[in-house]
Structure 1
Amino acid sequence: MNIQLQPEFDDILQSLGSSAAEFFLAASLYHAKKISFASAAHMAGLDFEGFKTRLIEHFGQGNILDDQCVFEGIQTIAQP
């Protein structure tokens, strides 16, 4: 799929560095819980730490942990 962006995005994305469109698309899919953190980082062309750093820079947080995710983690740890 080849995406054609509206010209209004050009100035904004250029000021945010190379691959900004890929990063924001991957971050949006991650925030919408459509893809995992690892998948989003890969799609953005970044390693784990690089993606986390850019999320913090642009959104104020790196990982999204919802209540269900935390609950499942606690259950996993509590299993004998």
Structure 2
Amino acid sequence: MPIQLNPHFYEVLEPYGSQSAEFFLAASLYHAHKVSFGAAASLAKLGFDEFHYRLKEHFDVGYTFADETVLDDIKTVDQLTHKCL
């Protein structure tokens, strides 16, 4: 599906480079938890490290984690800790 940007976006995006629209769209999908980090990096046509760097550069945050993921990880660590004792 070809996307036609509102012409006013070109002026705003121009300082960020030729693929800035792809980056900001991919970053938005990632931050909205619609695609994974790897999928967003691929959509932006960037490697993991470069996508992470640009997220930090423009959003002050590289990776985001859903609350449920963090809670599941805490629960798993707690279970593993109790098994070792």
Q: TM-score scaled to structure 2, two decimals? A: 0.84
Q: Give how far 1:73 is off.
A: 2.4
Q: Give how far 1:13 is off.
A: 1.1
- Kindly indicate whether residue 64 of structure 2 is the aligned counterpart of residue 64 of structure 1: yes
The letter of the residue matching 1:28 is S
Root-mean-square deviation (CA), in Å? Answer: 1.4
Q: Give how far 1:76 is off.
A: 4.2
- % of aligned pairs identical? 50
CA-to-aligned-CA distance 1:27-79 (integer Å, 9 cap, x gap): 01111110001100010001111001000111010011232111222344445
- Aligned partner of 2:5 in structure 1 is 5
Instruction: Please list every run of 5 or more consecutive structure 2 residues that lacks an aligned counterpart in the other structure.
Output: none
Q: TM-score scaled to structure 1, two decimals? A: 0.89
- Kindly indicate whether residue 21 of structure 2 is the aligned counterpart of residue 29 of structure 1: no
Instruction: Please list every run of 5 or more consecutive structure 1 residues that lacks an aligned counterpart in the other structure.
Output: none
Partners of 2:32 and 2:60 in 1: CA distance: 16
Partners of 2:5 and 2:49 in 1: CA distance: 28
The letter of the residue matching 1:46 is L
Which has a greater percent of helix? 2
The letter of the residue matching 2:33 is K
The letter of the residue matching 1:13 is L
SS at match of 1:8: helix
The letter of the residue matching 2:6 is Q
